[in-house]
Structure 1
Amino acid sequence: MSKRQSRINEFRAAVVDTIKKALPELRECESQFGRFNLDELETTSIRTPGVRVGLLHGKLKHAGSGQAEGTMSCAAFAVTEGKDRDEQAWAIAEAIAVSLHTSQMFGLLKLGTPQAVSIQPVISAAIKSKGVSIIAVEWTQELHQLGQNIFDQDGVVFSELYINDELVEVRP
């Protein structure tokens, strides 16, 4: 893969940065691989109050240009502990959900607006016994023009192709 950062990773990092700026009282806000649950809580330390941002899955629709449109299912997990953990987790989740308004682009281009925003607690007896509250804010958002366009700016197919940094001959 090229040194260019993937659009998906760029998007997730932008979501993390936006939440950090909006909620400076968080002790931690970082990206998460997938869903945050009790297993993650037991194997990973998180300073509370904290937020973990994960991309749960994406559905891609390919275009003739070689690029794709991706509908990403996203989640921000508010994690709190202590006496007022439930109230604090709901307040953080509400602040994140409200920020997912129809003009929230996280400072990026080629991006749709947040859709289908929902909030729900991650509940289990094991989580309750740990004295932790986890509230998930979930939404979908479209990333446009994923990948590289196979056409140049004039609409002509590129005449050079590099694989593993080696020029491969392309015949018309």
Structure 2
Amino acid sequence: MKRVIASLAIGMLIGSATVAAAAPNTVQATIAKFKILVDGETKTGTTNQLVYNGTTYVPIREVADLFGYNTNYDGPKKTIEFASANETVAEWISLANFAALNEAQVGQPEDSDDIITIARSGIRLFGINKTGFTDGTESKVLTEDGKTIRVLKLKDSFMLNKEDLKAAGFKI
């Protein structure tokens, strides 16, 4: 009888170890819906985001679309390609990328929903008045030292002309 109980216990131990080894890796994440801002503009996402260990995960195809890019996925090669949805994008840089490259901050004054200010170390570089902009329209702004920068509204994002930025002494 002792032998039967011992063999049964060993069999159960091996069986439970096999089941534990066969269990898939799982994670616990929270589904959330965040407000997405691109160049100070609120974007409407079509999917929920996941939050796992303090990091938010957003579907890459949706983010690419928000920034004006098409995505191509090649499963066998395990590659994701981003291609500009608009040929003119090569001449332009997004306001967010410009700010990151130039260590600048993008914000809105508390008293105006129509103005976007770009500043570095608390010093205003230039501002963009959003009034009258529609998708595909272009306008000009002046930097604080009088340089002209062309601004394009593309897919609800503000894009800055790279040539103008370079002429004004900014990094691109």
Q: TM-score, normalized by length of structure 2?
A: 0.24
Structure number with greater CO (CA < 8 Å, separation at least 6) is: 1
Q: Which structure has the larger Rg over C-alpha atoms?
A: 2
